[in-house]
Structure 1
Amino acid sequence: MLDGTTTKAGKCWKKVHLEFICEQKRNSSDFLVSDIGQHEVILGGNWLKEYNPTINWATQVIQFTDDIANIASEEEADDNPLEGVPSQYHTYAKVFGEEEFTKLPPHRSYDIHIELVDEEMRINSPLYSMTDTESIALKEWLDKELAAGKIQPSNSSISSPVMFIPKKDGSRRLVVDYRKLNANTKKSVYPLPRPDDLMSKLRGAKIFSALDMRWGYNNLRVAEEDVPKTAFRTKYGLFETKVMPFGLTNAPAYFQHWVNSIFHDMLDVSVVIYLDDILIFSKNEEEHTQHVEEVLRRLQDNQLFCKASKCFFHRQELSYLGIRVSVDGFSLDPLKIQAVQEWPAPTNRKELQSFLGFANFLRRFAKDFSKIARPLNNLISPSAEWKWNIREQESFEELKRVITEAPVLAHADPNKTYYLETDASGAAMGAVLSQRQEDGRLHPIGFMSESFKGAELNWDTHDKELHAIIQSLEFWRIYLEVGLPKDMGHDAILVIIDSFSKYSIFVPTEATANAARIADLFLEHYWKNHGLPKKTVSDRGTVFQNKFTRALYKRLGINPHFSSAYHPESDGQTERVNPSIEHFLRIYCGHSRKDWVKWLPLAQFAYNNAPHSATSTSPFMCIYGREPTFSPSNIETEVPEANDRTNIILQIQEEVASALRLSKERMTKGKPEETPISFEVGERAWLDAKNINLKTTSSKLNDRRLGPFK
C-alpha cells in the first residue's frame, strides 16, 4: 500500500467504474476494490496518463491543461452570436457581436476615479508563481488586450500582482490582486440595490427576459490621471489598464451608477438591474417586446454588450440573482437546493462560516431560520470552543431541510389584505407575511427571523412578542406602508412651490398620472396664473425625467433640475411641506379617510396664509402684497351647514397659527423642560392615539390624538 502497509484482503477480485470530481473537474476511471488503509482512493499511473494534470509539487496543487485553455477561450465569439435571440431583436446584432466588444470604449462622465487615502503609501506586492500552462494563457491574454488598446506598458510606482482564480464551471479567471490598493482607496458611498427590494417590483408581471452584460466593468474607462494606479506586474513586464478592471473596490458602485443613469426612467417600471444582470418584466407579450427593444437600443447606444448564450427571452419562469422568478412568485434555484443538499457537515469554524454565509442568502425562504441556526451561530465566535455534537448536527440537518423544502413565495399584491403572524420566545423571534391567493389559502410572501442579543435575552415574553411585531413591521415596511386612500379617483397630491415666495399649490391627482397629465395640471393650476418658470426642481420620478417632459421643457425654455438619487432632501422645500399636508388631512378627514380631496383647498389656504420661517411673512403676502381678506361675521345664519363650515375654517386658522407659534418657540428656545401634568375634575384633555386600534381604511391618515374628553 501507499503507506507501506500490506493489504489484509490479499488479492483484489473486484473492479468498479466510478465517476468522481477532482479539483472541480469531473473524471471517470476503473478502480480495484481493496482495503487500502487510511486512504479512500488512490489515483494511479493509468489515471495520470489519461488526464495528464499539471502538478505543483511545492504547493501540492493539481491543475488540468484544458482548464487553463478555458481562460483564453472563455470570451471568444460564439459560432452563431444570435443563436437563441428572437428574430425581432436581430436589429440589435451589435449587442451580441464580438467586433464592437473588442474595441476600446470612449471616456464618459462615469469614468472611475481612484482617490487614495495616503498618496505617499507604497503599494507593491511580489509576483505569484505560475505553471507553464498559466504562463501561456497569461501571455495570450496580454497580447490580445494590448492589441485592443485596453492595456498598455506602464512605468507606475504602484503595482499589484496577477493571479488565476477558479470559476464555478471549473475554468480559471485571470484577475489582478488589488487588495493593497483597495485598502488605501477612499470608498464610494453609491448604494447597490437590495435584491429583495428589486424582487418586490415584479408583482403583476407575466413575462420575463434576462440579459447578462458581457464583461460589463470593462465597458467603463479609468480616468486618465488614475490609469497608473491600476498597474499590475507580471513575469512579462509591468502593465496598466485603461478600462475598469474587476477587483477595484469602487468598481461595483461606479458601474451601478452608470447603468442606473442609462435606464433611469425604466427602473422599477419594466426593468430591475443589479450590476451586470438585467431583468425585464411586463404584463403582456406586446408590452414586453417594446420593453426588450428599448433595453437593447440603450445597450447598443452605450456600447454595452451581452452574450446570447447567457440571455433568456420571453419566459414565464427564469433564474435571476440565484432566485427562480415566475408568474406565481419566487422559489429557490434548483442549483441552490442541490448545493445545500450536498453540503457536508462542517469540520471547523471556517467551513461553518461558509455554510451559514450561503444559507443566510436564502433565509427569507426559511421559517424560524434564526431559531434553528442558533446552535451553529454559537460556534462562530472565536472565543467559543469548537464542539460538533448531536445538537449541532441536528441543527445543521434541520436547517438544510427547511431550506430545501422552502415554499414558493407569492408576489405581494397591494390590492389584497396582508396577514402578519409573529412569534417570539427564548432566544429568537420570527414572522411570516402572507396573502390569501386564488385557492382561498394563505400563501407566504416572506419569512423574517432574528436572534435576541445581549440584554434582549432577559426581556419578559410579552416584551419579546411586542419587539417581534415592531421588527416585522419595519422589515416589511415597503409592503405595509400605504399611500393615500382613493377619493374621487385621486390617490396622490401634486405639490407645487414657488421658491421665492414659498407660495404652495396642492393639486389632487393620481399616482399613475403620466407626463402629459402632469403637464396639463401645471398649466391648469400654475402656468395660467403665474407664467412659466425659468427653473424647476423635482424628484426623480419617471414623469419628470421622461422624453416627453424633457422635450416640452426644452421647447418652453424651462431648465429642469432633479433631487439627488437616494437623497430627496435636496428637493427640500417640497419635502418639508409634505408632512404639513399629511398632518392637516389627518386632523380633518372623516373616519373613512376617503374625503381628503375636499379638505385640500383649505389646507392650501391655511399654509399660504401663515408666516413662513424663511421670509417671516406669509406666502400670500409675498405674492399679492396683502393678507387675504377673511373677516367672517359672528352672527350665525339659519343654514346649519354654512355655520359648520365657517366654524371649521375659523378653527383651522386658529390651530395653524398656534402650531406655527409653538414650532417657532421650539426652534428658537429648544424643547422646553417637561413638567408633570395635572388635571382638574371636569377639565378637557386629549388622548394620545398612538396605541389605540382604530378601525379605519387607511392608517396613514389616522388621528394622532382623540378627544378632547372630560
Structure 2
Amino acid sequence: IGILHQEKIQLLVLEGANVDIILGRPWLVKHDPILSWGTGEIIKWGKGCVTDCFPEIPRPVQKPLPVFTTSVESPIEKRSVQIPKIYSSYKDVFCPKRASQLPPHRPWDCAIDLVPDAPMPRGKIYPLSLPETKAMEEYIHEALSQGYIRPSTSPAASSFFFVAKKDGGLRPCIDYRIINQGTIKFRYPLPLVPAALEQLRSARIFTKLDLRSAYNLVRIREGDEWKTAFVTPTGHYEYLVMPYGLVNAPSVFQNFIHEVLREFLHKFVVVYIDDILIYSRSEAEHHHHVAEVLQRLRDHQLYLKAEKCSFHLSSVQFLGYIIDQQGVRMDERKVSAVVSWPEPTTIKELQKFLGFSNFYRRFIHSYSNITAPLTTLLRGKPKTLLWTPEAAAAFQSLKSAFTQAPLLTHPDPDLPFVVEVDASTTGVGAILSQHHGDPPLLHPCAYFSRKLNPAERNYDIGNRELLAIKLALEEWRHWLEGAKFPFQVITDHKNLQYLRNAKRLCPRQARWSLFFSRFQFSITYRPGPKNIRADALSRMHDHPETSETPVNIIPEHIIINPIEWSAPPVVATPEPRPPPGCPPGRQFVPRTQRIALIHSTHTSLGTGHPGANNTLTLLSERFWWPAMARDVRQYVQGCKECAMSKSPRHLPAGKLHPLPVPNRPWSHLGVDFMTDLPSSDGNTCILVIIDRFSKFCRLIPLKGLPTALETAEILFNHVFRYYGIPEDIVSDRGPQFISRVWRSFFRLLGVTISLSSGYHPQTNGQTERKIQEVGRFLRTFCHGHQDSWNQFLGWAEYAQNSLRQPTTGLTPFQCVLGFQPPLFPWNGEPSEVPAVDYWFRESERVWDAAHHHLQRAVRRSKSIADQRRIQGPAYAPGQKVWLSTRDIRLRLPSRKLSPRFVGPFTILEQVNPVTFKLQLPPQYRIHPTFHVSLLKPFHPPLIPSTEPGHEEEPPPPLLLEDGSIYSVKEILQSRCCGGQLQYLVDWEGYGPEERSWVPRADILDPTLLEDFHTSHPEFPAPRGRGRPPRRQ
C-alpha cells in the first residue's frame, strides 16, 4: 500500500470480486488516512502509521536488480553491502582501503589565508577519561599511519577533545575558533535546498551516493598545514588533509565536488557537500548516469561509503525530504519527532523547536501566523520563558499542522501557474499551484506566508493585498518571471483588478507597479468566502493580542516642535484651484517660484544649509509640486557653500592601485629622507633606500639635506655600484626629487622617476613604513642619549635586513644574498663551498618564491584596503571638481571654521586610475596631481550668482611658502613709482573697489604680464623688454 507504508493483514478470499483488495471501516479507523477523492490517492497517513507501518529505509523498486556482495570493515562488526551487479566494474570506488590513502594535491586544495596580525591559538590540553584516552590514541595512530597528520612545530595549537555520537561512540573534534576568526572567508555558495529539489521534476528513479570521509579527500594547500596544528596529551600534530571544523571547509568542498561533477549538474545530478543524488526518467538512462558519475569519481580518486549508498529507488530520502515521482513530502520520522516534542520550558528549547519546524515551513498553511504567539515570546531577547495559553494553543496547532501537511507537486514550467493571495491585519499568505490530472485539479506546489511589520500593518486593505502579491512574486520569481504562459493571480480584493489601468497611483504603488511590469499575469477576483485556501494562510489562527491599534512609526518627541520659517510672499497666497495630485493641507508652488522657495528654506539662518533630505522634509510640511525631491536634491548638490564647507561622510574614494611587483632585487627602489634628528657625529638626517622586491634597506647618515646632484651621487656610490642601475625609483615630491638636475641625471641612465601624487604619501608607503621601523629601533636603543644614534645606525640596517618579511616569506638577506647571515660568529667547522651553478639556481628559486609571495601579499593588501574604500567617481578630462583643503594652509585664523574644499578646478588628464591632474592657477605653487580621495564632483548651482542675496564669496588666499597668494583676475595699468614698476590689478573674486597697485615682484604669472604689455605697449614695461620704464 504505497511505497513507504507496509503492514501485514489477514484477508478473506471472495469469489467473483472485480477488485484486488477491499479495506473496510475498521482499517480506515486504524490508519486514519487523508484521501483525495478526485484522484483516488492517499495524501496523508494517520499518526499511528508513523511508528508502526513505515520502515527505516525506503525499499527499492519492485523489480530487484542482480547484486554482488562487498565487505565493509567496521570497528564493531563486518557486514555485507549489496551493490547492483551492473556496477561491479567500479568495485574499487567503494574500497575502504583506497579511501584511507593520502590524497594528491589538486587545484582545489584548502587554502587558509589569514588577515594581517591574526591571533594564534594557544590550545588548552583537556583531561580525558580512560575511554577517551584510548579513542584518542587509536585516532592519532590511525591518522599517522594514513598520512593524514604529522608531528608539528607550528606556533598554532588548537585544542583537541571528543563529543558523543548518537550511537554512543566518540567523535574527535578540534577547536578552530581562533584560527577561523582570523581566516579570510571563502564565499563559495552552498546550493539552495528548494532550488535543488525543483530539479527533480519528472524523475522516476533515484540513486543516492555518500562520499567516504569527504573532507579528508581534500588536501591542505602546501605551506598552510601549520595553521591546522592541534595539541593532545601525547603530542603536537598538524593536518595534511582538510579536517572538520575549519570555517571554509564546507565552501571548499562544495567548490571541489562541483568542479568534479560540473558537466552533470542540473542535468541528472544534485550535490550538497558529500551527498550526491542521481535522478533519471528511465531505468536504462539511469544505468548510464550512475556509471558516468562513478567513473568521474574514480578519475579524481574519490571513494564512496557503500553502506550509506542506495541504488535504483523510486522514492528517496534526501536533505530531510521524501522525494518521488509525484512530488516532495516531509520525512515521516521528522514529523514523528515534532509530534512527540515536549512543551518548551526555556528560551533555548523554544528556539530549537522553532528552528526545527521552520525547515518545513513551505509545507505548512499559514506558518507565520500559527507561530506568531511563539515568536512574540522571543522579542527583546528575554532570559526566561513566559509561557502563555495562546502560546500553548499555537504549539499544539503547529504540531497538528505537521500531521496534515500535503504532498507538494514538482513545479512544471510547461503548465500555467496559479497564485492565490490574501492579506489580513497580521500577515500575508500565498499558494503557488498548477492543474494536474484528468480531470485537471489544482495541486499546491509551495506555500508562503509572512508576518507584517508595524509599518505594513498601517497599510489599508488594498495596499496589504497588493503587498501580498508583491511578496509572492518575489518568493517565486525564478518560476514566474519569464514563464511560458501568463499566470493567474487570485485575490479577494476586487479593486486590484483595475490596478494596471489606474491613472493615479501613490508613490508606493508606482514603485511596485514597476516591479509587476516584469511579469505577465492577470488578476482575478474571488470573494473571501470562496478564497478559502489563501485566506487560511493569512487569517487562520489569528489571536486576540495581534489585533492592535495602528503604530506611530515616528517617535512623538521628534515631531512635537517642528521648525517653522517664513515663506516668500509670492507663495504665501495659495492657488485658487490646486492641480490634481496635490495632497490636502499642502500648498501647490508654481514652477517659476520653486527655486526661490528652496533657496530661502535651505539658506535660512533657522535651517543652516541642511542636507537634501532635511530640506525636503521642511518643505514637505507646507508645500508640494511634482518632482519636488528631484529639484531639492539638484539644488543642494549645486550649493557652493555646502560643497566648500561640508566634509564627505562616505568612505575614501579610489580603490587601492598598488605599484607593480618587481621581478628581481634592486630593480625598483624607494627613497626618502628621515629628518629632524639631533646632531650625532655631525650627522642630522638619514637617506633611506629600500628595494621594493626584497625589502632590503640601506641607511646612509648625512650632515644635512643634500642637493639633487649630491643625492644622485650618494645613490650611485652606495647602491648602483653594488647592485646595478634600477628600472624605477619612487619618491615623494621633495625639492631634490622634482628638480631638473634629478630628472636629467636619471633620464640619461634610463631610470623611470615615479613621484607620489599630491598630499598622498601612501604611494611611497614601503619607504614611509621603513622610516617608522628605523625610528622605533633608534628610540629603543638611544632614547637616553639621543646624540648617539649614528652609532646604532649600522645595527638598525642589519636588524631590518635580518627580519623575515611577511610579504615574501623570506628575510631581505635571503632574497639578495641567497642565505641568512648568522647573528653571532660561526664556531663550527667550515663546510664545503657549493658550486656556482647551484648558487645561481638557489638564488633564482628564492627570487621566484619571493615574487610569488609578493604578488599574493599585494592581492591580499588590496582586498583588505578596498573593504575600507569605495569606487571613486568616474571623472573625465574637462570636468570640474572641488579640491580638498586638508593638506593646504589657508589664510584664515581657524582650521575648524575654514572651507573644506576650494575650486572648482578643471581636470586636465587622468594620470592613472586613481590620480588626476588639475588646472591650477600658476600662483598656487603646488603640484597639480592629486589622489581621487581629495576630489569631489562639482555640480553647477541652480541659482546664478548674479541673483540678489546669492553673491559669490571671494576665494580664500592660499598660504604657500609662508606668503599669502591671491589670484589676479586682470592687469589694468602699469606705472613707475619711486623707481619701482607697479601694476594696477583687479583681484579674482573681489569688486572694483578692491583694486590696488602692487609691485612687479608680486605678479607671479608671467602670462598675465605678457598679455598686458602686448595689448598695452604704451604703458611702462620691465627693462627686459628693451626700454626703460617711463614715469607716469
* Shorter-chain TM-score range: 0.5 to 0.7
1:401 corresponding residue in structure 2: 400
Corresponding residue number in structure 2 for 1:321: 319
Partner in structure 1 of residue 133 of structure 2: 135
User: Equivalents in 2 of 1:84, 1:367: separation in Å?
Assistant: 41
1:441-460 equivalences in 2 (<5 Å): 441-460=441-460
Residue 239 of structure 1 aligns to a residue in which SS?
strand
1:13-32 superposed matches below 5 A: none
Question: Contact 1:213 / 1:306 at 8 angstroms: preserved in 2?
Answer: yes
Cα distance in structure 2, aligned partners of 1:483 and 1:425: 29
Match of 1:553 in 2: none
Quick one: structure 1 residues 452 and 167, their matched pair in 2 at CA, closer, same or farther if it must change by over 3 Å?
farther
Do the aligned partners of residues 75 and 361 (structure 1) sit closer, same or farther apart at CA in structure 2, a change above 3 Å counting? farther
- RMSD of equivalent CA atoms: 2.4
Which of 213, 218, 221 is the equivalent residue of 1:220? 218
**Structure 1 residues 219 and 87: CA distance shift in structure 2, 3 A:** same
- Residue 350 of structure 1 aligns with an amino acid whose one-letter code is K
Alignment of 1:327-366 (within 5 A): 327-366=325-364
The unaligned stretches of length 5 or more in structure 2 are 1-71, 487-936, 943-1032
How far has the Cα of 1:138 moved from its partner? 0.7
Partner Cα distance (1:97, 1:311) in 2? 13
Paired position in structure 2 for 1:545 = none
In the other structure, the counterpart of 1:151 is 149
Offset at 1:324?
0.3
Verify the 8 A CA contact 1:162 1:174 in the aligned structure 2. yes
Alignment of 1:482 with 2:503, yes or no, is no
Q: 1:272 aligns with which of 270, 273, 277?
A: 270
Shift of residue 80, structure 1, vs aligned partner: 5.6
Work out the CA distance in 2 between the residues paired with 1:149 and 1:307: 20
Partner of 1:388: 387
In the alignment of these two chains, the number of paired residues is 419
Deviates more, 1:355-364 or 1:384-393: 384-393
For 1:284, the equivalent position in structure 2 comes to 282
Q: Distance in 1 between matches of 2:477 and 2:82?
A: 40
What is the aligned partner in structure 1 of residue 95 from structure 2? Answer: 97
Which secondary structure state, in structure 1, belongs to the residue aligned with residue 422 of structure 2? strand
| Counterpart contact for 2:370–2:394, Cα < 8 Å | yes
User: Does structure 2 retain, via aligned residues, the 8 Å contact 1:77–1:98?
Assistant: no
1:80 and 1:163 mapped to 2: Cα distance?
Answer: 30
> How far apart, CA to CA, are the structure 2 residues paired with 1:192 and 1:77?
34
Could you give the per-residue CA deviations for residues 443-463 of structure 1, whole angstroms, max 9, x where no partner exists? Answer: 111111112224222222221
2: CA distance between counterparts of 1:283 and 1:423? 37
Matched, 1:374 2:394: no
Opposite residue 473 of structure 1, the aligned amino acid is: L
The Cα shift of 1:120 comes to 4.5
Residues 293-318 of structure 1, C-alpha deviations (whole Å, 9 max, x = no match): 00111111111111112111111101
The answer as to whether partners of 2:135 and 2:170 remain within 8 angstroms in 1 is: no
Aligned partners of 2:158 and 2:231 also within 8 Å: yes
Amino acid at match of 1:397: Q
Query: Counterpart amino acid of 1:368?
Result: S
1:510 is matched with: none
The 5-angstrom pairing of residues 375-524 of structure 1 reads: 375-384=373-382, 386-438=385-437, 440-482=440-482
Structure with the bigger RCO (C-alpha within 8 Å, sep 6+) is 1
- The whole-number CA distance in structure 1 between the counterparts of 2:447 and 2:406 is 11
Q: CA deviation at 1:273?
A: 0.5
3-state SS of paired residue (2:419) = strand
Change (3 A) 1:460 1:437: same
In structure 1, runs of 5+ residues without a counterpart are 1-72, 487-667, 674-710
Amino acid at match of 1:455: A
Task: State the one-letter code of the partner of 2:172.
Answer: L
Report the CA distance between 1:182 and its aligned residue.
Answer: 1.0
1:292 aligned partner, one-letter code? V
* Distance of aligned partners of 1:77 and 1:296 in 2 relative to their CA distance in 1, 3 Å threshold: farther
Distance in 1 separating the partners of 2:143 and 2:154: 18
2:679 maps to which residue?
Answer: none
- Percent identity over the alignment is 41
Aligned ranges for residues 165-180 of structure 1 at < 5 Å?
A: 165-180=163-178
Give the structure 1 partner of residue 232 of structure 2. Answer: 234
> Structure 1 residues 218 and 429, CA, compared in 2 at 3 Å: closer, same or farther?
same
How far the C-alpha of 1:426 sits from its partner, in A, is 2.0
Cα distance in 2, alignment partners of residues 275 and 218 from structure 1: 13
- TM-score under structure 1 normalisation? 0.57
The alpha-carbon distance between structure 1 residues 76 and 268, as it changes in their structure 2 partners (threshold 3 A), is farther
Decide which of 178, 181, 205 is 2:179's aligned counterpart. Answer: 181
Distance of 1:455 and 1:250 partners within structure 2: 39
- Partner Cα separation in structure 1 for residue 307 and residue 83 of structure 2: 9
Distance between the aligned counterparts of 1:484 and 1:376, measured in 2? 41
AA aligned to 1:445 is C
2:414·2:484 contact (CA, 8 Å) conserved in 1?
A: no
Q: Secondary structure, in 3 states, of the residue corresponding to 1:450?
A: strand
Q: C-alpha distance in 2, partners of 1:442/1:120? A: 58
Distance 1:461-1:386 versus aligned 2 partners, 3 A rule: farther
- Per-residue deviation, residues 619-660 of structure 1 (Å, max 9, x unmatched): xxxxxxxxxxxxxxxxxxxxxxxxxxxxxxxxxxxxxxxxxx
- The change in CA–CA distance for 1:169 and 1:407 in structure 2 (over 3 A counts) is farther
Deviation at 1:473, TM superposition (A): 0.9
Residues 231 and 237 of structure 2 are in contact (CA less than 8 Å); yes or no, is this contact kept in structure 1? yes
1:84 aligned counterpart, secondary structure: strand
Alpha-carbon distance in 1 for matches of 2:469, 2:118: 52
Shift of 1:401: 1.4
- Please state whether the residue corresponding to 1:434 is helix, strand or coil: strand
CA distance in 2, matches of 1:320, 1:78: 27
Structure 1 residues 143 and 481, CA gap change in structure 2 (3 angstroms): same
Q: In 2 relative to 1, CA 292–76 (structure 1 residues): closer, same or farther, beyond 3 Å?
A: farther
Distance 1:425 1:128, change over 3 A: farther
Q: Distance in 2 between matches of 1:145 and 1:285?
A: 41
What one-letter code is carried by the residue in structure 2 that aligns with 1:249? Answer: V
Which residue identity lines up with residue 145 of structure 1 in the other structure? Answer: A
Q: Residues 395-435 of structure 1, C-alpha deviation per residue, up to 9 Å, x if partnerless?
A: 11111111232111101111112111112212221111111
C-alpha change, 1:99 and 1:78, in structure 2 (3 Å) is farther
**What residue is the counterpart of 1:633 in the other structure?**
none
The 1:425–1:169 alpha-carbon spacing in structure 2 relative to 1, beyond 3 Å, is farther
1:79 Cα deviation after fit: 3.7
Which letter maps to 2:203? Answer: A
Question: Quick check: 1:340–1:404 contact (8 Å CA) kept in 2?
Answer: no
Identify if the C-alpha distance between structure 1 residues 484 and 153 changes in structure 2 by more than 3 Å, giving closer, same or farther.
Answer: same
Question: C-alpha distance in 1, partners of 2:113/2:76?
Answer: 36
Using the TM superposition, give the Cα deviation of residue 484 of structure 1 relative to its aligned residue in structure 2, in angstroms: 6.9
Which amino acid letter does the alignment assign opposite residue 403 of structure 1? F
Q: Is the 8 A contact 1:473 1:480 kept in 2?
A: yes
Q: 1:377 to 1:483 in 2, by over 3 A?
A: closer
User: 1:579-618 CA distances to partner (integer Å, 9 max, x unpaired)?
Assistant: xxxxxxxxxxxxxxxxxxxxxxxxxxxxxxxxxxxxxxxx
8 A contact 2:207–2:313 mirrored in 1: yes
CA apart distance, 1:485: 8.1
Pick which of 117-126 and 402-411 moved more.
117-126
SS at match of 1:85: strand
Does structure 1 retain, via aligned residues, the 8 Å contact 2:339–2:399? yes
